[in-house]
Amino acid sequence: MDNHIETKEQGSGMSGGHALDLKLPIGWLISAYGVLLTVYGLLTRKEMYAISLGVNLNLIWGILMILIGGGFLLAVLVKKGRTKS
């Protein structure tokens, strides 16, 4: 038997919103790793990338991680802007 009784304050399901938004810490974490990879890619010599056919994968993936992390952070800002209106 289910003895759960909902009140108006509780709401039902996900209509009440989330108290914990994971986009913010995930965005910062991915962006921080992206900055580290980008700096590492900029500071390493070309000889290191001979095995990857001369492509600086650290730099490429660092920039991509910065963009993805920035997307998460932008989504947080857009959501905060909507809730204030």
The yes-or-no verdict on residue 39 having pLDDT over 80 is yes
Give pLDDT, residue 70. 96
Q: What is the pLDDT of residues 28-38, one digit of tens each?
A: 999 999 999 99
The model carries a pTM of: 0.72
Q: Is residue 6 part of a domain?
A: no
DSSP letter at 3 equals -
Contacts for 52-55: CB closer than 8 Å, 24+ residues apart: none
DSSP label at residue 83: H
Q: Please indicate, yes or no, if residue 17 is contained in any of the structural domains.
A: no
Q: How many domains does the chain contain in total?
A: 1
Model confidence at 12: pLDDT above 70: no
> Is 80 inside any structural domain?
yes
In a domain, 67, yes or no: yes
Question: What is the span of the domain harbouring residue 67?
Answer: 23-84
Which position has the token pair 């492509």?
Answer: 55
- pLDDT, tens only, 62-85: 999 999 999 999 999 898 887 776
Q: Is residue 71 part of a domain?
A: yes
Residue 75 domain-assigned (yes or no): yes
